[in-house]
Structure 1
Amino acid sequence: MTPDTDVAIKRGRGRPQIFDRDRALESAMKLFWDRGYEGTTFDDLIGAMKISPSTFYNSFGNKERLYRETTELYLNDAGNFFTPALAKAKDAKGAFEALIEAAAVAFTREEFPSGCMISLAGTHLPPSLNALRETMRTFRDGAEQALADRLSQGVADGDLPQDTDVAGLAAYFETVFRGMAVDARDGASTERLRKIGATAMRAWPSA
């Protein structure tokens, strides 16, 4: 048995039921991504993951813990386009153009729900789930900080004017990417997202 596989005992049969934990986690990720935290019920989860309630609790703890684990999976797998795209080009403008292209493609892939799992995650959670909402906010803040860091590098390298409002420009592009994610959920095509990104790049400061 591999570390990726869990075993649950079926009541009344005495036979172990082996399931692929990684596959079950990916199924949960897609469901949360598509429906959101509150829009996903426990029955939805065990149905999509093809596991029993007891296996769910033994392997994943509870819904909130599972959600946190699926967001980590998203960031390390389906959503792992952000940092590599920013590192593609030597100049800052090229890096942001690469990120726009990567986002346009990632937000419209057929094998995953459209948009970004993190962009709007947790924004409408009740006060009882403030800790989860803050975790999602931390992820979004981290993305904006990564944009700011790349812009600061661009200023240091001479790609951008010394008086560039790095924080403001980073916030602007973070807003653009979140808007692209929402547009993708509404059915926008890859090409439409590319056009949105190209228009956004017109705000790029002249060196």
Structure 2
Amino acid sequence: MAGRPKIFDEQEAIQKATEVFRNKGYDTASADELLNAMGIGKGSFYLAFKGGKQELYVRSIKQFAESFNRKITEAVEKSEDQIEFIRQFFLTLANAEDCDIDRGCYLGNALVQLSEKDEDIKKITAELLKGLQNIFAKAIKKAQEKKQLNTHKDPEILAWHLTNLWNGIHVTRRMESSPEILRAMIEMNLTLLK
């Protein structure tokens, strides 16, 4: 016997759970809040997520990371000036009041809060950072080839610098919320892209 068929869309349910995790955090999101948001009962939940809340959270981060990387890759590739796109991507972080998919702060927060506590989360966030680094490196190399950048620094190292900046902004935002300070810090770091 194969068991009861699923009567809900797992990806949609995970996306709804992601909203709860983003707003409440992993530790404070209750099972009832997650089930209500997902629109499923306990039985269906445990059939789909045998590892419970922890498995749901890991799958939430993974789904969010895949979507984030896909959106950033598409946006960079469609941009006429990829370096300017990257600059604007970072500068919007200074003014971000909420956590949305375009800025990726859900992932940044997961990296800061839980990556050292759980190997699956650590692996997913490491893959995200490597994915971001690859996106940045490809754009930098292309811009160097087209003589759109004066710097001859290694695109891989520049891309890791940007990835570190992205990661660092999410840490710094926990202590400093001033858009002016964040913007000045970001602009200083982006002087490497000239």
TM-score, with length taken from structure 1: 0.66
Rounded to whole Å, the distance in 1 between the matches of 2:81 and 2:99 is 31
- Following TM superposition, by how much is the alpha carbon of 1:133 offset from its aligned partner in structure 2, in angstroms? 1.7
Task: Give the alignment partner of residue 189 of structure 2, picking from 185, 200, 205.
Answer: 200
Secondary structure of 1:30's counterpart equals helix
Q: CA deviation at 1:49?
A: 3.2
1:93 aligns to what? 83
The amino acid across from 2:86 in the alignment is F
Partner of 1:138: 127
What is the CA-CA distance between 1:103 and the residue it aligns to? 4.7
Cα displacement string for residues 181-200 of structure 1 (whole angstroms, at most 9, x for unaligned residues)? 34555683767655543343
Unaligned runs of 5+ in 1: 8-18
**Is 1:108 equivalent to 2:108 in the alignment?**
no
Q: Is the Cα–Cα contact under 8 Å of residues 115 and 183 in structure 1 kept in the other structure?
A: no
Confirm or deny: 8 A CA contact 1:86 1:99 kept in the other structure.
Answer: no
CA RMSD of superposed structures (Å): 3.8
Offset of residue 152 of structure 1: 1.3
SS class of match (2:105): coil
The aligned residue for residue 28 of structure 1 is 17
Structure with the larger helix share:
2
In the alignment, structure 1 residue 119 sits paired with structure 2 residue 108: yes
Q: Is the 8 A contact 1:28 1:45 kept in 2?
A: yes
Larger Rg: 1
Equivalent of residue 73 in structure 2, options 74, 83, 89: 83
The equivalent residue for 1:176 is: 165
Give the partner amino acid of 1:137.
Answer: A
CA distance in 1, matches of 2:115, 2:10: 29
Change (3 A) 1:44 1:84: same
What is the one-letter code of the residue matched to 2:57? Y
- Is the Cα contact below 8 Å between 1:29 and 1:70 reproduced in 2? yes
The answer to whether the 8 A contact 2:61-2:121 is kept is no
* Contact persistence 2:69–2:131 (CA under 8 A): no
Residue type matched to 1:203 in 2? L
Query: TM (normalized to structure 2)?
Result: 0.70
Post-superposition shift, 1:32? 2.5
1-structure distance, mates of 2:63, 2:145: 34
Residues 81 and 194 from structure 1, CA distance in 2 versus in 1: closer, same or farther, beyond 3 angstroms? farther
CA distance 1:27–1:189, shift in 2 (3 Å):
farther
Give, in angstroms, the shift of residue 102 of structure 1: 5.4
Contact kept, 8 Å, 1:28 with 1:49, in 2: the verdict is yes
What's the % identity of the aligned pairs? 21
Q: Find out whether 1:188 has 2:180 as its counterpart.
A: no
- Report if aligned partners of 1:118, 1:136 keep a CA contact under 8 Å in 2: yes
Show CA shifts across 1:116-160 (max 9, x none): 121242555487832332122111211112111111111222223
Match of 1:65 in 2: 55
Deviates more, 1:93-102 or 1:54-63: 93-102
Q: CA offsets, 1:80-108, max 9 Å, x none?
A: 64223323433443232232255557x43
CA deviation vs aligned residue, 1:39-89 (integer Å, no higher than 9, x gap): 545455335435332121123333343223322442455776422332343
Amino acid in structure 2 at the alignment position of 1:66: L
